[in-house]
Amino acid sequence: MLRLNAALRLDTFRALPRFAALRLGAWRIMALLPQLLAAWLLFCGAATAAGQADRLQAGVAKTDVTPAKPVTLSGYGGRNQPSQGVHDPLSARVVAFKQDGKRLVLVSTDLIGFRGETAESARKAICTACQLQPSELFLTAIHTHSGPSLTLGGKEAQANNVEYTKTLQSRLVEAVREALGRAVPAQIGAGSGSSPVGANRRETVHDSAGKPRVQLGRNASGLTDPEVQVLKISRAGTDELVAVVFAYATHSTSLGPKNYQISGDVHGLAEQFVEKYLDRGVIAPAFAGASGDIDPWYRVLPKFETGNGWIPEPVLMGTMLGEEVVHVSGAIRQSDGRGPIKTAFKTLTLPGKPRGKAEAPADAAPVQLNLTVGRVGNVAFLGLGAEVFNEIGRVIKAASPFKHTFVITHCNGGAGYLPTRQSNPQGGYEVLSSPFAPGAAEQVIQEAVGMLRAL
């Protein structure tokens, strides 16, 4: 027993240096703990930042762009006086996607469109201020004919319109900057529905001799694109809606040249309905699909009629379109927050013809058209700088490698009407006013589908 105790004491004595060394190591570790903790936090922060950069982010912004002064309205040449009041406000809505240094920015404005110098000036200002590549910006308009005419000056430019255009540009820059700055982890889902609001407007009539001609009207049996495309954007990991983006193929021309009230017309009223119904700060940017030959079912009306309980047709059709957007949005269940984001931009040089003629002489000057493509995850966007016939949009959607391809017109410029080759012999307003020669549509389709496949 004594021998055992002695052995234990001896083992304990021998272990003392190791114990002391352990204590000394522990003290050293304790002394280094602040540096180790700081390094760990730095590592975690870097890992989190890397994770955030890899995740899809989205931010939104909305700004009022209703003219504060009477302005010349755009879309009809017969108007001879400035606007007379506001029926419903005009807005610019922005959705900005970010991931791993790439951006894609969708700008929807309740205007007729950006053409010529107004398009280039606004695009340059936004891209420069927000450090965007040209391919990363989709600057678009819903094509309401009851909004202000955009101009930066000229012989016949109204001072109020020039002032409005310059102010608008500044507001768009701030809205895009705001949307990019608000970007948070997000998830997206897409779906589609259908609406009968749009009607083919190339109506065939016959003169006294029985000769047919095409005029603007309602061709109830003509081809349309009834698809309502919807993109639902939510905060990552939640059901909290951020935005509901939608595209539909129709002119916003339920109001005609005798209307002098400012309005977003069908698309704008649909946006307002969706936002009011969903509430909670959700924005609903609208985009005009391939609708060069599509008008609303009720078109070019003189005013908002409200007598005897009548529901004004623009409100009726805007609400009908908006309700379908809400229905489709509510049915979207699958969502994705992985990305990637990819974009591309190309200016096409296409065969042209003189306006006022259906055919092109051999020496006709070519015409340029901007094409912008982008993808966010498995959803694609095609921006066309023209008023494109609905058949062209339908062919591109069918040939796209993406299940959901949002076709957006009046995007990054406005070159004019782009009809199909088959429509040229028929004539009509769109064909005669188009700057494009027969065959241009086929080139646009080929280039657009190629760019989408390369994303």
State how far the Cα of 448 lies from the Cα of 64, in Å rounded to an integer: 33
Strand, helix or coil for residue 219: strand
pLDDT at residue 17 in the model: 46
pLDDT of residue 34: 52
425 torsion bin: left (phi>0), alpha (psi -120 to 50), beta (else): alpha
The phi and psi torsions of 75 (rounded to 5 degrees) equal: 115, -25
- Strand pairing class (212-219; 241-248): unpaired
CA distance 152 to 398: 39
What is the rounded (10 degree) CA torsion for 201, 206, 212, 216? -20
**340 preceded by a cis bond (ω within 30 of 0):** yes
Q: From residue 130, how far is each of 92, 285, 425 by CA, in Å?
A: 17, 20, 46
What count of other Cβ atoms lies within 10 Å of the Cβ of residue 40? Answer: 10
**Closest of 156, 171, 58, 154 to residue 110, by C-alpha:** 171
CA dist 160 and 149 (Å) reads 10
Using DSSP's 3-state secondary structure scheme, residue 275 falls into helix
**The pair of three-digit structure tokens given for residue 360, joined into one six-digit string:** 């092109």
Q: How far apart (Å, rounded) are the C-alpha atoms in residues 326 and 183?
A: 24
pLDDT in tens, 121-141: 999 999 999 999 999 999 999
- Predicted local confidence at residue 54, as pLDDT: 81
φ/ψ (deg, to 5) at 289? -75, -165
Rounded Cα distance between 452 and 407, Å, is: 11
CA distances from 13 to 5, 8, 10, 239 (A): 12, 8, 5, 66
In the chain, helix, strand, coil percent, each to 5?
A: 35, 30, 35
pTM here?
0.88
Displacement of CA 18 from its chain's centroid (Å): 70
Q: What per-residue confidence (pLDDT) applies to 155?
A: 81
> Phi and psi dihedrals of 407, rounded to 5?
-95, 120
* H or E stretch covering 174: helix 159-181
User: CB–CB of 172/109 below 8 Å?
Assistant: yes
What pLDDT is attached to residue 31? 53
Mean pLDDT split into 10-residue runs, the chain, 455 residues: 40 43 45 50 43 82 98 95 98 98 98 96 98 98 98 91 98 98 97 98 95 96 97 95 98 98 98 97 98 98 97 98 98 92 98 91 94 98 98 98 98 98 95 96 98 98
Task: Check residue 52 and give its pLDDT.
Answer: 54
